[in-house]
Amino acid sequence: MSIEIDLSNIDEVMNLKALEILKAQERFVISYGGSGSGKSIGIAQVILIRLLSEETHRFLIIRKVHRTIRNSVFQTFKDIINIWNLQKLFSIRESDFRITCKNGNELIFSGIDDSEKIKSISGITSIWIEEASELLQKDFEQLNLRLRGETKSKKQIYISFNPTSSNSWLKNRFFSDKNDIDIKIIHSTYLDNKFIDNQYKEELTKLIDIDKNLYDIYVLGKWGELKGLVYPDYKLIQELPEEYEHRRYGIDFGFSNPMALVEVRFIGKDVYIRECYYEVGQTTQQLIQFMQNNGISKQDMIRCDSAEPDRIQSINEAGFRAIQAKKNINSGIDAVKSYNLHITEDSVNLLREIQSYKWVEDRTGNTLDTPIKMNDHILDALRYSVFTDIQKHTISVITAKKHTSSFFGYDNGVSFSNRNKLFHNLNNF
């Protein structure tokens, strides 16, 4: 069955950059740039149009981690189907994230971490990799291999991301050969998004007062600089080690900010870290439910954000061993840095935070000993969980730092409530 669609006023509902993506014929279509530039919605629109107007399509929509699909890419497609009033043409299966069009074309969603599912899908005709900076290059190359052979329809891989780190494999893979005819690069910022709301725009542009690197990445869409990172060194691992000396968890509470839970396994001077939970808009009860359903240990200590004693009590009432963490930031960072850090590949939010967690710079470019209070939720949870063992050795440092460095000292006129709103948005895009 072919479906007639009228695209005569498509430019009223799509940004110009999205129309460029629709026109692209190259195998690799790269949509990168600042936050809020319409990258995700634009690609989803393009895919829906192709799904309706081309024959025999099975689109694979990929993110690194399966659990992030429901609230991101899957929701985006459902929203557009509703806004464009196409409900009659699609059936949506929530149980395994599959959207089928009346003409037989399909959208299948999967996390890279669900490799069995990916292997089992045959006849893929195109792929969208959302937040591609979360993937390793080997994840990408395997997907690329999947998209071979003859199909009736044009085979393409759409790739979207914020350029968070100039060390990323994406830069080397797609930006070093300007003459590669297989690659189309489309750059966008919020200025290219005619649908962006004023509040979003305001919060984004305020980044200029917080950090130039974050402003460059999320507002200008330029590749992030690695200078001044708090934790520049860490290794990626696939799994946590099964054998270890001891284990601890850390929690940073949030609601409009993400609620973050991290697990840390200790072996000598090595720590092995995995993000367990990172969600916005969740209550303590929802976190507890997650902990109960996902095997969080009731024997091992959970160090929590000390500003929230009621929440700690609720967690204890559910049978866990939660206690207040030591708050001193610099001593906590020193404690984390005294270990060799190993982070699981699926800890996507932790990896995103660690790549932009930097020391504050003064106007002349000198690095101060205060980290930028931003994008640090799961990093705070990590600090809480680690900073206890060597507390005794650092007590003199704590006392000394109390007098010399003011946590709020670097504040440059941006209120904390605004910052919080900003974290929220940045964490969602």
Give the interface with ligand ADP as residue ranges (CB under 6 A): 13-15, 35-41, 193, 195-196, 429
- For every residue of 179-238, DSSP letters joined together read T-TTEEEEEE-GGG-TT--HHHHHHHHGGGGT-HHHHIIIII-PPPP-TTBSS---EEES
Question: Least distance (Å) from Mg ion to the CB of residue 40?
Answer: 3
Per-residue string for binding with Mg ion, 4-43, x by CB under 5 A? ------------------------------------x---
Q: Which residues contact 334 (CB under 8 A, 6 or more apart)?
A: 394, 397
* CB nearer ligand ADP, residue 107 or residue 264: 107
* CB nearer ligand ADP, residue 45 or residue 213: 45
Out of Mg ion, ligand ADP, none, what residue 35 binds, judged by CB under 5 to 8 A for its kind, is ligand ADP
* CB nearer ligand ADP, residue 206 or residue 383: 206
* CB nearer ligand ADP, residue 328 or residue 427: 427
- For every residue of 81-135, DSSP letters joined together read HHHTT-GGGEEEETTTTEEEETTS-EEEEEETT-HHHHHH-----EEEETTGGGS
Per-residue string for binding with Mg ion, 103-122, x by CB under 5 A? --------------------
Interface of this chain with Mg ion, residues 217 to 256, rule: CB under 5 A:
none
| Contact predicate 333/353, CB 8 Å | no
Question: Least distance (Å) from Mg ion to the CB of residue 90?
Answer: 22
Q: Which residues contact 401 (CB under 8 A, 6 or more apart)?
A: 328, 330, 331, 369
Q: Where are the alpha helices (DSSP H) in 319-415?
A: 329-337, 348-356, 377-386, 391-404
| Contact predicate 326/332, CB 8 Å | yes
* CB nearer ligand ADP, residue 75 or residue 87: 75
Question: Least distance (Å) from ligand ADP to the CB of residue 328?
Answer: 35
Question: Least distance (Å) from ligand ADP to the CB of residue 300?
Answer: 37
Question: Least distance (Å) from ligand ADP to the CB of residue 74?
Answer: 14
Question: Least distance (Å) from ligand ADP to the CB of residue 218?
Answer: 9
Residue whose beta carbon is closest to Mg ion? 40
Question: Least distance (Å) from ligand ADP to the CB of residue 180?
Answer: 24
Between CA 194 and CA 259 the distance in angstroms is 32
Length of the chain: 429
Out of Mg ion, ligand ADP, none, what residue 41 binds, judged by CB under 5 to 8 A for its kind, is ligand ADP
* CB nearer Mg ion, residue 188 or residue 213: 188
Q: Which helix (H) or strand (E) holds 344?
A: strand 340-344
Question: Least distance (Å) from Mg ion to the CB of residue 403?
Answer: 43
| Contact predicate 360/368, CB 8 Å | yes
Out of Mg ion, ligand ADP, none, what residue 221 binds, judged by CB under 5 to 8 A for its kind, is none
Q: Which of 99, 129, 85, 124 is nearest to 111 (CA)?
A: 129
Measure Cα distances from 11 to 20, 140, 184, 321, 419 in Å.
Answer: 11, 32, 21, 56, 34
* CB nearer ligand ADP, residue 160 or residue 330: 160
Out of ligand ADP, Mg ion, none, what residue 14 binds, judged by CB under 5 to 8 A for its kind, is ligand ADP
Residue 374 CA from chain centroid, whole number: 14
Which residues of this protein are in contact with Mg ion, per CB under 5 A?
40, 429
